[in-house]
Structure 1
Amino acid sequence: MKRFLVGSLAIIGALSVLAVLGFFFLVVAAAASKPSVPGALVLELDLDKPLPEQVAQDSLAGAFGSEETTVRDVVDALEKAAKDERVKALLVRVDQPGSAAVIQELRDAVKAFRASGKKAIAYADTFGEGGSGTGAYYLASAFDEIYIQPSGDVTLTGLMMETPFARDAFAKLGVQPRIGQRHEYKNAVNTYTEQGYTAPHKEAMEKLLGSLYGQVVNGIAEGRKLGPDEVKGLIDQAPLLGQAALEAKLVDGLLYRDEVHEKVKKEAGEDSRLLFLDKYLERVGRPNTEGETVALVYGVGGINRGKSDSNPLSGEQVFGGDSVALALRKATDDAKVKAIIFRVDSPGGSYVASDTVRREVQRAREKGKPVIVSMATYAASGGYFVSMDADKIVAQPGTLTGSIGVFGGKMVTADFWSKLGVNWESVVQGKDADIYSSDSDFTPEQLAKNEASLDRIYADFTAKAAKGRNLPLEQLQAVAKGRVWTGEDALANKLVDALGGFPKALELAKEAAKLPKDAEVRVQVFPRKKQPAEVFAELLGGGGGDNSEDEANASTATSPLQPVLAQTQALYRLGVKLGVIRSQTGTLSAQVPDTRF
């Protein structure tokens, strides 16, 4: 009986190993058998949700199907398609394209595609239903033609920013915010400390929204061959029903999806076929794969100390200072790399982690490796801190950047717990061991220490920013004070060097590396993307590098408990916000306004 059980277990074990090996074989075989590209095709893209900047390095999506299409995927695919004679046109269903900066990146790519002589067509069932369709229409206006179905409309109602203020709610709960800020425009904490806009806060938001509004108006006017005042008038009339939008020259026709497809295929040729953009890119490959190497390093998400991570349930990414610093270090030390593009998409976070990454940017330049920062949706506060020492900074006009400032302190929750009948008692060793405890208020001496810490960080931030941007300290301080700017205004204030996206950053990288403008280059992402087998190994408890310089340590190894851990961390962060868990000082984070398009 014993032998039978042992034998059975051995057979089961062997079958399990064979099943796993078989699964890996199928994954590899599926990846190797790529279908061909049709001889005549219309490239198709469905923007039904905002595009991410980056797919997490430890994502398993590639093993079970297509990964999410990223901003760079679209830019690269359109660059490739513009030179591909098989591609006759581009057809995009526009619904939820994302932030202003992402929309502008896509607009640039579409206009570059059109410059090759190929047609780009946008369509939607409607631009906004029960909400604004301004952002979607702003993107569509970069296309040759725009269609909506007869029952649709164009809800081109403009832009709006909303900010919640909960000071009175916290007071009712018995929670007292004790948070300092540097300086009056560092408004991330105003949600907790105010019941409405302060004068500086309102001034900054109105300037920010005004800049974005002007960009949208001018973009639509250019794309639809209308005057800016005409566009503003139409915005004030919106929402416009389909026929009214057609008469106002905002759309080129009222067609259903099948009619749009029939029209596009007829114009492209009866033998043409539709092909999704991600499938096209997968089959033909990316551009910029030969020549001198230019490294591409991503810094996406809120900045924390330690390793980069991602929540497999929400998709939220964490910009780990150690991981991004390691990627920059690897690119710096690689003799083949001639320049580095650092793609930053972060509202900020840890001051220390931000400085860890800034040091690697500085180190790269000291070793003769030019660094070009390409800013995405936002590069504010800590996101600006990691960028400011680069050779050049590129931002989209709608990128939210700057916010050179700091806040820090704690939420005092003693009265809250008292209302619940809970009394916290502490035993401490060290006069100020409880300085950041949420159970008691700051003493005057502790408050002075917190304020001094904020002063020190702000002085360090502004001094390093002035040096990195080669500006007099006084000039830098005038545009600092925690204020968020659009990329357009940041350029005027000399906080960035140029407006644009990936292509502009690559152009500047070639220039900094002393390569010809038309030189072929190979863009290599650091760290390299993990293969599904490596991620599976980490899921089973393996993986990881041999030392701190190993590329395998660039992100946290995923475990079967990661989803549970991620949700626990989310609850922890909520606790910090409510003051139930103590917070910390020295936070380089900006309140990123929720702009409604």
Structure 2
Amino acid sequence: MAERKGFFRRIGAFLEGLRRFLVNAVFLLLLVLLLFALFASGPELPERFALELDIDGLVVDQLSPVDPLSELVQGETVAETRLQDLIDSIDRAVMDKRVALLVLSLDDLEHIGMSKSSELAVALERFKATGRPVLARAAAYDQDAYLLASSADEVFLDPMGGVVIEGFSVYRNYYRDALEKLAIDFHLFRVGEFKSAMEPFVRNSMSEEARAANEEWLGQLWGNYRQNVASNRSLEREQLDHYVNRIDEVMASYKGNLARAALEEKLVDRLVTENQWGALMRDNVGIDEDGDYYRVGHRQYLALTEALDAANTNAVGVLVAQGVIADGEVVGDGIGGDSFSELIRKARKNDAIKAVVLRIDSGGGSAFASEQIRQELRLLKQSGKPLVVSMGSSAASGGYWIAADADEIWATPATITGSIGIFGAFPTINRSLAKLGIATDGIGTTEVAGGLRVDRPLNPVVKRALQSGIEHGYQQFLSVVAEGRDMLPEQVDKIAQGRVWTGEDARQLGLVDQLGSLEDAIQSAANLAGLTQYRRQWVSPTLPPLQALVNHLLEQTGLSARVAVPGWWSPVSGLVRDFLQMRDPNGMYAYCTECSAP
């Protein structure tokens, strides 16, 4: 028996050694390929070429760190494209006469959203002002890609494709009956008439308050979408409405040919196959040694050109708060109370950084971590450095909590913000266990001992205490906003109650100071610091050496970053995952579930 165990141990050790060898070998191979790509890319750009904005996957404010070892294990990946890289490449192209035209390559775009689209569209207008064209091309356009494409001078579509626009919506699954069948009691604690984050667990339908609030902000965003597309394409809004709402009639008019419908309804300018597109571009910019047209992707273009502000010594630091706000350390996508506070300290102690812009793209999360981050931001302000907030797609609930003390708050009209409210939740499964014949009994030394066990009914004393804590948290949230925005708590309460607002409404209500882009916020921060010449300095977390090397090589070679996505992803599991990540020590959350912005 001992010999057999020893044999299996040796086999196990051999397999573990083999696994490590293979993983290390693949990693080294990847490193060699990246180095080869870096040195093989060459320092020269063509004398005339098309600059392609090859927008892959999700457009984000900050790329997730690339860990090749994790990707080997998890498998499925989704690409990311950094918004600022797109804008920087456009702005460099404005001054670069070698760039004959810009191409929006949208086949691989997963999501950008209205807010980021509007910021990118402003940069595209700067390029169009030089007299050089912007072209958009895709095999097919969903409404996200089409909004961006509509900013182009010409929109090209494959004859087998189409343009699909459906409008915006908020639909959820509701679980009250399912939980009742499972005999699970879901205890919800909240303050705010419109704080609907946990409604799916206690209702079978959307509440009238949530319906009214969602209808208002969704309607406003849809109105902006219609206006932008109609203006960009010189269409009547009624014409676009007919295309969307009567798509069955539209398609019947063109015998089911969606591409022809898009062309005749003036949503696109030309139908071209891939070969026809190549021929068109070769006529524009010439033919390279491979028979293709001269083109350079925006990542490679950034790697081969110099930033205009690189020589300046004074800097405006940019910190990106992206994802769920969680207690403790967070590596990758997300905002950790401890780890993000360390980034703020890093910016505060850097003498070259004279002002800070906090870019927020978050629906919130842990109230404890939000307050921790806010306190660190207050120390930064006390050091004499101006603090300006730039809101991206969303800066709501905890995302607004950390914004409130800024010297200025900027947002785009399509930013989702507000959602000033607090909630907590606690499930109990004693009835469910009873159906299985499992009982819980015992004794405690106080009236509340064991009061937070999920296998017991929720203790009434504990229940009242939890609600009291949530109400205190809400009052604290009101005070934070009132102090930061120079308002009375009563004034904040009228526009709080967990209600979601667009950036446009938030400016009118005093929650936001200005409408504009991240670049506008950076310029404003520089002005507050008295800087006429400055550079941007992105303040990023320190990565492990090998991971940092891989990320640097990806940037230098112009390859896109990729982030692993679990195969079990779904809206439900995503919501549960977010709550598991937040891990607030007091079980108190400032989180907006509506803020997956259009």
Q: TM-score, structure 2 length as denominator?
A: 0.82
Correspondence for 2:212: 203
Residue 529 (structure 1) shift: 5.5
Aligned partner (choices 362, 368, 380) of residue 384 of structure 2: 368
Q: Deviations over 1:151-194 (max 9, x none)?
A: 32222232222122111111111111111111111100101111
Correspondence for 2:192: 183
Give the unaligned 5+ runs of structure 2.
1-16, 251-257, 551-563
Q: Is the 8 A contact 1:142 1:223 kept in 2?
A: yes
Correspondence for 2:60: 52
Correspondence for 2:475: 459
Aligned partner (choices 247, 254, 259) of residue 242 of structure 1: 259
Aligned partner (choices 497, 501, 526) of residue 539 of structure 2: 526
Q: Is the 8 A contact 1:166 1:194 kept in 2?
A: yes
Q: Deviations over 1:271-306 (max 9, x none)?
A: 661111111112224454332211111112111111
Q: TM-score, structure 1 length as denominator?
A: 0.82
Amino acid at match of 2:592: A
Residue 368 (structure 1) shift: 1.0
Q: Is the 8 A contact 1:295 1:525 kept in 2?
A: yes
Amino acid at match of 1:277: H
Correspondence for 1:299: 321
Q: Distance in 2 between matches of 1:491 and 1:259?
A: 47
2:119 matches 1:117:
no
Q: Deviations over 1:353-412 (max 9, x none)?
A: 101111121111111111111222211111111111111112222221111000013011
Correspondence for 1:41: 49
Aligned partner (choices 498, 504, 510) of residue 514 of structure 2: 498
Correspondence for 1:280: 301
The alpha-carbon distance between structure 1 residues 104 and 269, as it changes in their structure 2 partners (threshold 3 A), is: same
The alpha-carbon distance between structure 1 residues 438 and 100, as it changes in their structure 2 partners (threshold 3 A), is: farther
Q: Distance in 1 between matches of 2:87 and 2:364?
A: 26
Aligned partner (choices 590, 593, 597) of residue 591 of structure 1: 593
The alpha-carbon distance between structure 1 residues 417 and 222, as it changes in their structure 2 partners (threshold 3 A), is: same
Q: Distance in 1 between matches of 2:459 and 2:39?
A: 66
Q: Distance in 2 between matches of 1:369 and 1:577?
A: 34
**1:92 aligned counterpart, secondary structure:** strand
Task: Give runs of aligned pairs for residues 305-344 of structure 1, distance below 5 A.
Answer: 305-310=327-332, 317-344=333-360
Correspondence for 1:449: 465
Q: Distance in 2 between matches of 1:144 and 1:572?
A: 38
Residue 147 (structure 1) shift: 1.2
The alpha-carbon distance between structure 1 residues 46 and 563, as it changes in their structure 2 partners (threshold 3 A), is: closer
Task: Give runs of aligned pairs for residues 348-367 of structure 1, distance below 5 A.
Answer: 348-367=364-383
Alpha-carbon RMSD across the aligned residues, in angstroms, is 3.5
Residue 236 (structure 1) shift: 2.4
Q: Distance in 2 between matches of 1:147 and 1:54?
A: 30
Q: Is the 8 A contact 1:211 1:488 kept in 2?
A: no
Q: Distance in 1 between matches of 2:91 and 2:174?
A: 45
2:155 matches 1:139:
no
Q: Distance in 2 between matches of 1:289 and 1:459?
A: 45
Correspondence for 1:155: 164
Q: Distance in 2 between matches of 1:255 and 1:391?
A: 50
The alpha-carbon distance between structure 1 residues 51 and 254, as it changes in their structure 2 partners (threshold 3 A), is: same
Correspondence for 1:267: 284
Task: Give runs of aligned pairs for residues 521-560 of structure 1, distance below 5 A.
Answer: 521-527=534-540, 530=543, 532-533=545-546
Correspondence for 2:112: 98
Residue 436 (structure 1) shift: 3.0
Q: Is the 8 A contact 1:403 1:483 kept in 2?
A: yes
Correspondence for 2:6: none
The alpha-carbon distance between structure 1 residues 118 and 428, as it changes in their structure 2 partners (threshold 3 A), is: farther
Q: Is the 8 A contact 1:167 1:195 kept in 2?
A: yes
Q: Distance in 1 between matches of 2:436 and 2:310?
A: 62
Correspondence for 1:313: none
Give the unaligned 5+ runs of structure 1.
1-11, 128-132, 311-316, 538-561
**2:334 aligned counterpart, secondary structure:** strand
Residue 31 (structure 1) shift: 4.2
Q: Is the 8 A contact 1:24 1:533 kept in 2?
A: no
Q: Distance in 2 between matches of 1:331 and 1:464?
A: 23
Q: Is the 8 A contact 1:60 1:535 kept in 2?
A: no
Residue 258 (structure 1) shift: 2.5
2:101 matches 1:89:
yes
Correspondence for 1:545: none
Correspondence for 2:311: 290
Q: Distance in 2 between matches of 1:428 and 1:304?
A: 32
Q: Distance in 2 between matches of 1:572 and 1:144?
A: 38
**1:187 aligned counterpart, secondary structure:** coil
Residue 203 (structure 1) shift: 0.7
Correspondence for 1:6: none
The alpha-carbon distance between structure 1 residues 267 and 478, as it changes in their structure 2 partners (threshold 3 A), is: same
Q: Is the 8 A contact 1:62 1:532 kept in 2?
A: no
Count residues in correspondence. Answer: 539
